[in-house]
Amino acid sequence: MKVISSREDLRHYRSMLLAEGGTIGFVPTMGALHQGHLSLVEVAALACEHVIVSIFVNPTQFNDPNDLRNYPRNLEKDLALLTGQGKTAVVFAPEVEDIYPEPDLRRFDFGPLDKVMEGARRPGHFNGVAQVVSKLFSIVEPHKAFFGEKDFQQLAVIRQLVMQEQSKIEIVPCPIIRESDGLAMSSRNVLLSPDERLHAANISGILFQSRELSTTMEVDLLTAWVVDQLNNDPLLQVEYFQIVDSITLMPVERWTQAGEKQGCVAVKIGKVRLIDNIKFD
Ligand code: PAF
């Protein structure tokens, strides 16, 4: 497995891979890798002959400087995990100056997609995600790019970005990978204290129960129920729980409305902010 930090070297290596034939699958990450990321690499390796993984903690998507400072970083461990898995051809691990030789002044307009839920609480977050993904896409030029459904809103924004940029890259959504107690895998989980980690499992537990209850409870009552249940845990504080249309991310009022529906949640636990979501059939 090769590790490359400059965009020129990456472009050169990419040409060599293409000369061997086949397609390139791309898994963009911010490092602090876990089984969730490895599952993306696994799916990419099944779909494409060559897999490129990027590891880059993108400063422009952090609206909170403390969050950027505390974001877990461990390149050596990440590389060991990817090497052990044996599916990655190249890791692209650039420095901030490689990606942003000058400030990126682009302001994207994704309509309501980046204004609700995470977008409403993390101003500029999705603009930063779009900046870096757009830059990484233009460097890596993959055939397919793989994103986890845990960041459900990010996936919707990236699909929109690809449409707006008239890019041919296929965006492949990959299912959430959970710990054995149901907690959605996240790089932020390592920031939880042992006690917080125990309580964090209640987030998915309550989401799973809500899916059962959705057959008998109206959307507004179920929404209130989820918020109450989560807030009843003394360590959890709900930022939002919303049942939205899976494509438009607009709030759903009735189960009889057309379209797939997703329940999306953000919860504070101590200093850590976790997100999760669940599909309602
Ligand atoms: O999901 C992430 O890890 C990041 O938002 C991404 C897509 C790698 C962009 O920095």
Q: Atom 5 in ligand 1: which residue has the minimum CA distance?
A: 129
| Centroid of ligand 1 to alpha carbon of 27 (angstroms) | 9
Classify each residue of 101-130 as buried b or exposed e, where b means 16 or more C-beta atoms within 10 Å of its C-beta: eeebeeebebeebbebbbbeebeebbbbbb
Classify each residue of 45-63 as buried b or exposed e, where b means 16 or more C-beta atoms within 10 Å of its C-beta: beebebbbbbbbbbebbbe
In which order are the strands placed within the sheet that holds 272-280? Answer: 236-245, 261-269, 272-280
Q: Which of 30, 68, 114, 134 to mutate to test the pocket of ligand 1 (most atoms within 8 A of CB)?
A: 30
Question: Cα separation of 118 and 61, whole Å?
Answer: 12
Query: What is the arithmetic mean of pLDDT over 33-51?
Result: 98
Ligand 1, closest atom to CA 187?
A: 3
What is the pLDDT at residue 124? 96
pTM of the full structure: 0.96
Residues with CB under 6 A from ligand 1: 28-30, 58, 61, 129, 132-133, 151, 154
What is the pLDDT at residue 238? 98
Ligand 1, closest atom to CA 30?
A: 3
Sheet strands (E) in the chain:
2-4, 24-29, 50-55, 90-92, 144-148, 170-174, 236-245, 261-269, 272-280
Per-residue pLDDT for 274 more than 90?
yes
Q: Give the number of C-alpha atoms closer than 13 A to the C-alpha of residue 267, restricted to the C-beta side.
A: 32
Question: Facing residues of 273 across strands?
Answer: 268
| Centroid of ligand 1 to alpha carbon of 30 (angstroms) | 6
- Catalytic (active-site) positions: 37
Per-residue pLDDT for 72 more than 90?
yes
* Average pLDDT for the chain: 97
pLDDT digit string (tens) for 185-196?
A: 999 999 999 999
- In eight-state DSSP terms, residue 177 is P
What is the pLDDT at residue 281? 80
Residue-range domain boundaries for the chain: 2-174, 187-280
pLDDT digit string (tens) for 224-254?
A: 999 999 999 999 999 999 999 999 999 999 9
Same fold, 2-174 and 187-280: no
Question: Cα separation of 13 and 36, whole Å?
Answer: 26
Query: What is the arithmetic mean of pLDDT over 164-183?
Result: 98
Say how many C-beta atoms besides its own lie within 10 A of residue 95's C-beta. 10
Superfamily of domain 187-280: Pantoate-beta-alanine ligase, C-terminal domain (3.30.1300.10)
Query: What is the arithmetic mean of pLDDT over 255-270?
Result: 98
**Class of domain 2-174 (CATH, top level):** alpha beta
Query: What is the arithmetic mean of pLDDT over 36-56?
Result: 98
Question: Facing residues of 158 across strands?
Answer: none
Question: Cα separation of 175 and 155, whole Å?
Answer: 12
